[in-house]
Amino acid sequence: MKILLIGMGVVGRSFVRLIAERGGDLYRRHGLAARLVGAVDRGGMAVSERGLNLAELLATKERDGTIAAMGQAGGEAERLIEETDADIVIEATPTDVKRPQAAMSRLKCAMRHGRHVISVNKGPLATAMPALLELAKYNRVEFRFSGTVGGGTPMLAGAQEAARGDEIVGIRAILNGTTNFILSRMHDAGESFDAALAEAIRLGYAETDPSADIDGVDTATKVVILANWVLGRSATLSDVSISGIRGMADERIRSAAAGGKRVKLIGRIDDTGIAVQPEEIPAGGPMDVSGSLNAMCVTLKTAGDITLVGRGAGGPETAVAVARDLLDIWHVVHEK
């Protein structure tokens, strides 16, 4: 399958490395011959119908900060989507919920031109997921985005599998590693919110501007994706009640601990609606994960609670999710 990669950041480069290292294995095990015919970053683009030299692509990005030297400086990604004969477009640019228009336009362009789409950018999904799902269906293309929720941990697939033969009545999830790290430090090391946040930034768990994390927006985008894909609810970010952990008081942490509880930022979907807010959970319970781990508890009508725990972020982990999506699309297309 011919692939066009939009975005050569941490996830994009990790995906290129994965294909370079495991391309032969993907072919032997699944019959998938993955060929990267185009790549785009902020500085430029590189295109080759025969397939780009992956080692050269990575080396050029490392050396120059852009891949322009392998092709051209500048250029319009949408024009490249239209003109290349790629089978799949991977949207791997950073999420910007406030300004999702550019990524949204690329996804729509790809679908309208008959390209299958994989997205790790949550912005378009958070603001217009029902419309994107409908557009993919109308254009008869596959649309996958497992890397948007849980990183390398298959949260979306796990929830769907849990629901086979049963009915999901609710989902509770810890979906942001930054806030979980901060709250874990406050509980375990007795640090203040500001000190824990500073440590998260120093270690790279949080951006210099951590607003999307600590104000609950990042968790809310992931809950929206879960609601649409797993529960079939036509929801967008505006449907979520959001309360983050900014300025979390030490006293609330101590009070929860005294009662055998821990405070976590929980994304919740149930019959009352969709919400993100700090909640107290039992210490030592299945959802009591530490550090930057994620956890999701799916409550089934008959089988009860099923909890999935794993890493929620990271370039290599998310690249694995992209590879899973690639294989899913390959099998669907191959079986037709």
pLDDT class of 204 with cuts at 50, 70, 90 = confident
Phi-psi domain of 68 (left: phi exceeds 0; alpha: psi -120 through 50; beta: other): alpha
DSSP character string of 39-74: EE-SSEEEE-TT---HHHHHHHHHHHSSSGGGSEES
The kind and range of the H/E element at 5 are strand 2-6
Same domain, 169 and 270: yes
Task: Report how far apart, in Å, the C-alpha atoms of 98 and of each of 12, 126, 232, 271 are.
Answer: 22, 10, 24, 28
**Span 99-129, pLDDT tens digits:** 999 999 999 999 999 999 999 999 999 999 9
The per-residue pLDDT for range 138-196, each reduced to its tens digit, is 999 999 999 999 988 999 999 999 888 899 999 999 999 999 999 999 999 999 999 99
**Which residues have a Cβ under 8 Å from the Cβ of 280 and sit 6 or more positions away?**
256, 259, 261, 262, 263, 264
Task: Assess whether 98 carries a catalytic annotation.
Answer: no
The Cα–Cα gap between 308 and 149 comes to: 12
* 146 & 163 share domain: no
Domain shared by 89 and 112, yes or no:
yes
CA proximity to 324, closest of 195, 198, 154: 154
Q: Which residue is associated with the tokens 């254009």? A: 139
What pTM does this model have? Answer: 0.93
Of the residues 61, 122, 222, 264, only one is catalytic, namely 222
Do 37 and 162 sit in the same domain of this protein? no
Of the listed ranges 32-46, 260-274, 308-322, the least confidently predicted one is: 308-322
Q: Which domain holds residue 36?
A: 2-152+316-335
Which tens digit of pLDDT belongs to each residue from 37-79? 999 999 999 999 999 999 999 999 999 999 999 999 988 999 9
Residues 56 and 143 in one domain: yes
